Structure 1
Amino acid sequence: MNILVRMTGAFQGSLFGWSEEATLGPLGQAVRRTVLDHGAWVDVRPGWITGADALFERLLEVVPWHAERRHMYDRMVDVPRLLKFYGEDEPLPDPLLVEAKAALDAHYGDELGEPFRTAGMCLYRDGRDSVAWHGDTIGRGSSEDTMVAIVSVGTPRPLLLRPRGGGPALRHEVGHGDLLVMGGSCQRTWEHAVPKTTRPTGPRISVQFRPRGVR
């Protein structure tokens, strides 16, 4: 069975998201930073990609999406989303993602002190696909300040942030070319999640750019 078949919500493009060519807007002053507790912060650049719906359609077609199973709670369970990880030596699947990575390196290079190296990709097919509360703490993120830059295309979904261990959550609706960057101590002092929803919702693709040694 085609693993993409279970997309029960029809994809509805943005009124501003469709064009023949997807293009990046500027970063700079268009990026809005929210300073969080414990040395963490989050940047948001709404609508960074113009024509993001065209990019979504290309990625849906060309990325070799696959399902995974993981050991949780003493049993093997299906990961509730489709995945693809692009390592340092693996070419990205679309020229605009190469351009996006270069733009992120230019904007955040001085603050991060190194380039983004990898790109993890997730396909949330409908409201049943999700990711539980977590921080990217496999590797250096468990002990060092770092950054994870997320580009979202497709139907917006809530991305929630809360202090590690619980507390009031911040909510960002991301999709249609939005950029969200978690920085500082965010991966080890805060958690993020994309919750399930029973509301009909179309698919979303998340592209997570990370430095070397952060997962």
Structure 2
Amino acid sequence: MTPIDAEPVPLADADLRFLPDWLDASRADRWLAALLAETPWEQPQVRLYGRSFAVPRLVAWYGDPEARYRYSGLSHEPLPWTPLLAEIRRAVEEAVGQPLNGVLLNLYRDGRDSMGWHSDDEAELGRNPLIASLSLGGARRFDLRRAGQGRIEHSLWLGHGSLLVMAGATQHHWQHQVAKTRRPCAPRLNLTFRRVHI
């Protein structure tokens, strides 16, 4: 595995670093297979304009006992770290050089699963949160746009074993998404590690 010495992604008012080959393929394959088999996936409902909708992906939240996390009107009580997730957390913490106490797992089963435009700016993540995003499985396009703007300004292909780190003022100035696609794509598992401030 490579330490977090990648060149920054060239975006103003952002601190993004991308390591497309952070994990070797054999370890990425092993982690993906085990996580797909052992994770108790959920598909929460969110309320928009008075109606309930299932989020378009499967999710699971793990963390330290006090790392409760709320986003999109949903409250998540952390599941306890499994031995595998504890191993992955140690590797990611070593790469980013700071402790992380929670991880959100998102499973994109096919191109119809997605994540809409948002910033990871919840109060419990602190003023300038660090988000370390590990991708396993099929590659998906990750888009970035200026907050309040409509135009995509930058895109990355997040492939098997890649690590994207967003830090500094990124969440103040930028939004990101994983859009739906009609292109055939294998299931993608994304682990976004973060530190929830108690």
TM-score bucket (shorter structure):
0.7 to 0.9
**Which secondary structure state, in structure 2, belongs to the residue aligned with residue 37 of structure 1?**
coil
**Which secondary structure state, in structure 1, belongs to the residue aligned with residue 8 of structure 2?**
strand
Matched residue count: 182
Runs of 5+ in structure 1 lacking a partner? 1-24
2:29 is aligned with 1:48: no
Partner residue in 2 for 1:102: 90
2:96 is aligned with 1:131: no
Task: Answer with 114-123 or 85-94: which moved more.
Answer: 85-94
Moved over 6 A (4+): none
| Alpha-carbon separation, structure 2, partners of 1:157 and 1:94 | 27
Structure 1 contact 62–93 (Cα < 8 Å) conserved: no
Identity between Structure 1 and Structure 2 (%): 34
Question: What is the CA distance between 1:32 and its match in structure 2?
Answer: 2.4
After superposition, give the CA deviation of every residue in 1:96-151 in whole Å (9 maximum; x if it has no partner): x4333223333433xxxx5111010000000000000001122245x711210000
| Alpha-carbon separation, structure 1, partners of 2:88 and 2:127 | 24
Which of 147, 167, 178 matches 1:183? Answer: 167
Question: What is the CA distance between 1:36 and its match in structure 2?
Answer: 2.4
RMSD after superposition? 1.9
Partner residue in 1 for 2:127: 144
| Alpha-carbon separation, structure 1, partners of 2:59 and 2:44 | 8
**Which secondary structure state, in structure 1, belongs to the residue aligned with residue 99 of structure 2?**
coil
After superposition, give the CA deviation of every residue in 1:57-104 in whole Å (9 maximum; x if it has no partner): 111100111111101133111100000000213443353x43332233
After superposition, where does 1:51-130 map in structure 2 within 5 Å? Answer: 51=26, 52-89=28-65, 90-95=79-84, 97-109=85-97, 114-130=98-114
After superposition, give the CA deviation of every residue in 1:183-211 in whole Å (9 maximum; x if it has no partner): 11112211010000011211000000001
**Which secondary structure state, in structure 1, belongs to the residue aligned with residue 2 of structure 2?**
coil
**Which secondary structure state, in structure 2, belongs to the residue aligned with residue 34 of structure 1?**
coil
After superposition, give the CA deviation of every residue in 1:2-24 in whole Å (9 maximum; x if it has no partner): xxxxxxxxxxxxxxxxxxxxxxx
Task: Answer with 78-87 or 41-50: which moved more.
Answer: 41-50
Structure 2 contact 121–172 (Cα < 8 Å) conserved: yes
2:136 is aligned with 1:153: yes
Structure 1 contact 34–42 (Cα < 8 Å) conserved: yes
Runs of 5+ in structure 2 lacking a partner? 66-78
Structure 1 contact 44–179 (Cα < 8 Å) conserved: yes
Q: Give, as a single letter, the amino acid of the residue that structure 2 aligns with 1:86.
A: Y
Q: Calculate the TM-score normalised by the size of structure 2.
A: 0.84
Change (3 A) 1:57 1:107: closer
| Alpha-carbon separation, structure 2, partners of 1:162 and 1:179 | 20
| Alpha-carbon separation, structure 2, partners of 1:160 and 1:67 | 23
